[in-house]
Amino acid sequence: MSLVKFVSREYKSENTIIEVGDVVFGNGKFPVIAGPCAVETENQVLSIAQSVKKAGAQIFRGGAFKPRTSPYSFQGLGKQGLHLLGKVRKETGLPIATEVLDVENFDLVEEYADLIQIGTRNMQNFSLLRRAGRSKKPILLKRGMSATLEEWLMAAEYIMQEGNKNIILCERGIRTFVKHSRNTLDLSVIAAVKKESHLPVIADPSHAAGVRDQIISLAYAAAAVNADGLMIEVHNNPEKALSDGLQSLYPDQFTALMGKIHSIHAIAGS
Amino acid sequence: MSLVKFVSREYKSENTIIEVGDVVFGNGKFPVIAGPCAVETENQVLSIAQSVKKAGAQIFRGGAFKPRTSPYSFQGLGKQGLHLLGKVRKETGLPIATEVLDVENFDLVEEYADLIQIGTRNMQNFSLLRRAGRSKKPILLKRGMSATLEEWLMAAEYIMQEGNKNIILCERGIRTFVKHSRNTLDLSVIAAVKKESHLPVIADPSHAAGVRDQIISLAYAAAAVNADGLMIEVHNNPEKALSDGLQSLYPDQFTALMGKIHSIHAIAGS
Amino acid sequence: MSLVKFVSREYKSENTIIEVGDVVFGNGKFPVIAGPCAVETENQVLSIAQSVKKAGAQIFRGGAFKPRTSPYSFQGLGKQGLHLLGKVRKETGLPIATEVLDVENFDLVEEYADLIQIGTRNMQNFSLLRRAGRSKKPILLKRGMSATLEEWLMAAEYIMQEGNKNIILCERGIRTFVKHSRNTLDLSVIAAVKKESHLPVIADPSHAAGVRDQIISLAYAAAAVNADGLMIEVHNNPEKALSDGLQSLYPDQFTALMGKIHSIHAIAGS
Amino acid sequence: MSLVKFVSREYKSENTIIEVGDVVFGNGKFPVIAGPCAVETENQVLSIAQSVKKAGAQIFRGGAFKPRTSPYSFQGLGKQGLHLLGKVRKETGLPIATEVLDVENFDLVEEYADLIQIGTRNMQNFSLLRRAGRSKKPILLKRGMSATLEEWLMAAEYIMQEGNKNIILCERGIRTFVKHSRNTLDLSVIAAVKKESHLPVIADPSHAAGVRDQIISLAYAAAAVNADGLMIEVHNNPEKALSDGLQSLYPDQFTALMGKIHSIHAIAGS
């Protein structure tokens, strides 16, 4: 890890605290970011947002620009999606987390987002990282699907070196030989990040597992390993979701989960 | 999963309950198996056993026959080690879990063990599986380092087909590209096993992580995903352990862990 | 593979032939692209280019924009590097292959390059793929470090769907648990690509292995599996290379390799 | 690699030459071991043996004891299978390579085999390795499905330390995330083994790929990386094979392959 500089514990020993609106990451709490994979309609996002807020989520997530394996899959609503996310914030007061796919749309996303997500496929899109480094908004940097810890921290270093110190790391599962889940959530990496870096690190069990039963378990596990928060997909109608329906929780499942997860985190983190 | 028969949920819908002495797996509790990697001396095993028992462990583990990558590493005390494990049971009342490496020593291990472990390297040692299938003692079947869920359940099928219905599965980490831990604990597999099979499944974070900080976190995570128990390495003097010292918890760490882990399991499993 | 359209064998049964200057890919020949990892100085590129041309290389490669894990590593000479590549073409007549990292610099790279490379870290940079799809120049699309065959072909589909039919695929090694090489060259994928797609596919053993001895062997292997060509790193002074020195062949090694590789390809491909 | 002793190049700098009957491994030649996955009937083995002998194979392979993932799959003919292999040797003069699964049947297999195979699932069955170390027959040690180079050489060390110096290593594909082939043949490991050890190392593309088209390519690749030989599955009636039919070559394919493979090896190895 010798080459990591600003990101390293050696450079800064105390934990970095990051504020997204009123929500704080890195201070020992366990904020939850929830919402659908993709923004689809005004009704959909408002309904989900009200539901997850009621259950205790503190940030709303939803994709307006979607990175899809196939060019023939739904690519997101783009600017219109951002506009709907703006409405969600206005109606619910929840800060918005949404993904940026490229430098071209960075200004636009930056205008609407409270937390700008750089996804797993872009973890080593260095131009995008540098642009994020010049943003005033906090960045949620997902781990690449087959990134080592060092490569991930180096990606954060690209951002930090340009001046933006507000980075939240997010573990979302790594690619393995396993067939019973989409990816394998690497929960060891939470302790490993905390040892090497002062940045907060959260977990996203939805993309890791891709299977509903497993996601709920892994969400509890993320709390148990003392991650600094959670990002999770919730949809009011998963069967009809335009993307990732199979891995979205029903609102009731999310509410049940929220009834337990902070207790687990409180025990593990004490 | 079409070929799994006796092991499948379809064959038997209710959870299988397995008794190891007075200790019960599969009934919603979270029994903990603890002890050193290898049996070294009488003092060592008795000291650790008393310490882990006091902290709440219900089964003592310790290897008399050790599967070591190198022929030049400590291979275990063999029969003498089993004898010392017998003393531990007599002194503490704790049932004994220990590994069997081959058919040749099966009778011997069977005589001393209350729970017979088949290790990750032997998960597809089919002759050993068949012999285990003819044992009256319960079997702890670790997942192979790169075994799919199907291969693992098929290994259990080999045992069950011979008549032994008492099998506890144990996830112990899979081989991945990751460098910050020895293996990657696959916690998704716990929910996946429970869906496909009626057998109880526990987790071993010590071999998965190989790094002390990560192990404690992963133990909590195992409770949080509602595993049916835990297997963990504890040593009274990890620095001088003849094997796996770096991944053994200090007794104080284990005691602290035991103070929290059942609470986490109770919340997650409710 | 049901979603791949323009890229699929079903859509177009005969092999696609791609011309880069006078060099032809996909017609049963085995053209070799050679040169240093990064453009460093005029002397360096001219010296290497003359040497590899003499040995039989038909395209010169060299990076002006370098995707580096660390922001503190040499990032390439940028526009000046492209200018030097232009000189190489003028002096030697060799077409130029060079990497583009982002949409911002696409026009610039397009101006200088005869074959535009999209690297492993950008295989799912969908904005970049779409821009490449609107280029008149042929594209060299490297496989992502942990991309499945389907994801790779889908990335090509993004390009093709925008109108650019001239895509050469390039296998460069996948991420595995292995420690004796940097990545594992997946030579099975060559036959698998040819079955699913009409596009030519070449191999890059330099990035796969990262170790000189292995690279020479793997280059022969690429010819033996009937790949449509080779991309390989050669440096006149590997010890002083600003990047990837350890994996660059010496000019003499390259010359020796070129003396054999077409014979191997001729036998395997007949 | 510090712990490998007898197996290391440091201990013995010149290549080890191993004789299996009249067939020599490690002297720069490329002997081919061919035959069906499993021995099924006398007609089957004799027919295949005559065919592969005519095409140039020098050793006949066939499994009498089969390590199968499922207990409900064909487990091999056992002793009767060995007896049929004995007939093959008598009729054709070809030496016999066959797998041993356990210590219990070692004496029996040893009686019939000229080359005793230890399979991928048993690479760390240390009791079996030790027994092999006390055999007078040469051992074919397959690499474990997720074994590092060090673990593999250490397994050979277990054998050699007991006195048997005649070990041929066999790369047979490693487990990766890849879906287009059963495993990924790691051809880098051939050069890596030769650097670390004096033992000969061959490749088995049949188990690596599991798909016929890919196998032929990978066989040529094995010759191109200068492996010390090849092991390959051939069946006279793959559609009706009791195991591994999909990955067995037709006799005609094998004959065509044999017409080219030595030429490739001669060029690459010169």
Give me the tens of pLDDT residue by residue for chain C, a chain 270 residues long: 458 999 999 999 999 999 999 999 999 999 999 999 999 999 999 999 999 999 999 999 999 999 999 999 999 999 999 999 999 999 999 999 999 999 999 999 999 999 999 999 999 999 999 999 999 999 999 999 999 999 999 999 999 999 999 999 999 999 999 999 999 999 999 999 999 999 999 999 998 888 888 999 999 999 999 999 999 999 998 888 887 777 899 999 999 999 999 999 999 988
Q: Which amino acid is at D89?
A: R
Tell me which residue of A203, A237, A207 sits closest to A222, measured CA to CA.
Answer: A203
CB pairs under 8 A between B and C: 5
A175 touching chain D per CB within 8 A: yes
Q: Does B217 sit within 8 Å of A220, measured CB to CB?
A: no
Q: Which residue of C has its CA nearest to A5?
A: C72
Q: Are A37 and A235 in contact (CB under 8 A)?
A: yes
pLDDT band at A100 (very low <50, low <70, confident <90, very high): very high
pLDDT at residue A113 tops 90: yes
Is-contact B226 B189, C-beta < 8 A?
Answer: no
Does B13 fall in a domain?
no
Query: How high is the pLDDT of residue D2?
Result: 55
- Dump pLDDT digits (tens) for D51-79: 999 999 999 999 999 999 999 999 999 99
Q: How many CB pairs under 8 A join B and D?
A: 68
Name the residue among A65, A66, A64, A56 with its Cα closest to residue A34: A56
User: Are A195 and B179 an interchain contact pair (Cβ–Cβ within 8 Å)?
Assistant: no
Nearest to B267 by CA among B53, B58, B30: B30
Q: Mapping DSSP to helix (H, G, I), strand (E, B) and coil, where does residue B232 land?
A: strand
**Residue tagged 């990657």 (tokens):** B184
Provide the residue-wise pLDDT of chain B in tens; the chain has 270 residues. Answer: 458 999 999 999 999 999 999 999 999 999 999 999 999 999 999 999 999 999 999 999 999 999 999 999 999 999 999 999 999 999 999 999 999 999 999 999 999 999 999 999 999 999 999 999 999 999 999 999 999 999 999 999 999 999 999 999 999 999 999 999 999 999 999 999 999 999 999 999 998 888 888 999 999 999 999 999 999 999 998 888 887 777 899 999 999 999 999 999 999 988
The predicted complex's ipTM stands at: 0.96
Question: What pLDDT score does B4 carry?
Answer: 92
Interface residue D266 vs chain C (CB under 8 A): no
Stated pTM of the model: 0.97
Q: Tell me the C-alpha distance between C189 and C195, whole Å.
A: 10
Q: Is residue B261 part of a domain?
A: yes
Please list the pLDDT of chain D residue by residue as tens digits (270 residues): 458 999 999 999 999 999 999 999 999 999 999 999 999 999 999 999 999 999 999 999 999 999 999 999 999 999 999 999 999 999 999 999 999 999 999 999 999 999 999 999 999 999 999 999 999 999 999 999 999 999 999 999 999 999 999 999 999 999 999 999 999 999 999 999 999 999 999 999 998 888 888 999 999 999 999 999 999 999 998 888 887 777 899 999 999 999 999 999 999 988
Tell me if B103 and D103 make a contact (CB, 8 A cut-off).
yes
Q: How far is C60 from chain B (nearest CA, A)?
A: 33
Question: Would you say residue D10 lies in a domain?
Answer: no
Distances (CA, A) of B97 to B64, B190, C206: 10, 21, 49
Q: How many angstroms away from the CA of D224 is the closest CA of chain B?
A: 27
Mean pLDDT to the nearest integer, A104-123:
98
Q: Which chains touch B (3 or more CB pairs under 8 A)?
A: A, C, D
Residue A12: inside a domain = no
B103 close contact with D: CB closer than 8 A: yes
Interchain pair B71, D154: CB under 8 A: yes
Measured at the alpha carbon of residue A15, what is the angle toward residues A11 and A16, in degrees to the nearest 5? Answer: 85
Instruction: Give the dihedral of Cα atoms A162, A168, A169, A170; nearest 10 deg.
Output: -140
- Residue B140 inside a domain? The answer is yes
What sign results for the dihedral spanned by CA atoms D252, D257, D260, D266? negative
Please say if the pLDDT value at position A253 is more than 90.
yes
pLDDT of A132-142, one tens digit each?
999 999 999 99
Contact (CB<8Å) D127/B3 = no
| Whole-number Å distance between alpha carbons of C201 and D122 | 37
Question: In C113-161, which residue ranges form alpha helices assigned H by DSSP?
Answer: 126-133, 149-161
Q: Which residues of A touch D69 (CB under 8 A)?
A: none
Question: What whole-number distance in Å separates Cα of residue A192 and Cα of residue A148?
Answer: 11
Q: Is B211 on the interface with A (CB under 8 A)?
A: yes
Q: Percent of chain A having pLDDT more than 90?
A: 91
Inter-chain contacts counted by CB atoms under 8 A, chains A and C: 67
- Smallest CA-to-CA distance from C254 within C40, C50, C24, C26 is with C50
State yes or no: pLDDT of A1 exceeds 70: no
Q: Is B167 helix (H, G, I), strand (E, B) or coil?
A: strand
In a domain, D12, yes or no: no
Of C70, C128, C154, the CB nearest to A3: C70
Bridge partner list, A33: A59, A231
Exposure string of B98-123, with b = 16+ CB inside 10 Å and e = fewer, is bbbbbbebbeebbebbbbbbbbbbbb
Contact C172, C183 (CB under 8 A): yes
Cβ–Cβ below 8 Å for C187 and D270:
no
Separation CA D249–CA D232 (nearest Å): 8
- Number of domains present in the structure of chain C: 1
From chain D, pick out residues whose CB is under 8 angstroms from the CB of C208. 188
Model pLDDT, residue D1: 47
Give the per-residue SS3 of chain D.
CCCCCCCECCCCCCCCCEEECCEEECCCCCCEEEECCECCCHHHHHHHHHHHHHHCCCEEECECCCCCCCCCCCCCCCHHHHHHHHHHHHHHCCCEEEECCCCCCHHHHHHHCCEEEECHHHCCCHHHHHHHHCCCCCEEEECCCCCCHHHHHHHHHHHHHCCCCCEEEEECCECCCCCCCCCECCCHHHHHHHHHECCCEEECHHHHHCCHHHHHHHHHHHHHCCCCCEEEEECCCHHHCCCCHHHCECHHHHHHHHHHHHHHHHHHHC
Pick the residue of A177, A178, A180, A186 with the most D CBs within 10 A to test the interface with D by mutation: A177
Mean pLDDT over each residue of chain A, to the nearest integer: 96
C-alpha B141/C-alpha B124 separation (Å) is: 10
Give yes or no for B190 touching A (CB within 8 A): yes
Name, in order, each residue with C-beta under 8 angstroms of C190's C-beta and a sequence gap of 6 or more: C171, C201, C203, C222, C225, C226, C227, D217
**Domain containing D139: what range?**
18-269
Nearest CA in chain B to C146: B177
Residue A61, H or E segment: strand A59-61
Whether chain A has a CB inside 8 Å of the CB on D177: the answer is yes
Average pLDDT over residues A163-179: 98
Tell me if C99 is assigned to some domain: yes
> Cα distance from D244 to chain A (closest Cα, Å)?
21
Residue D5 inside a domain? The answer is no
- CATH value at residue A58: 3.20.20.70
Name the closest residue on chain C to residue D184, using Cα atoms.
C186
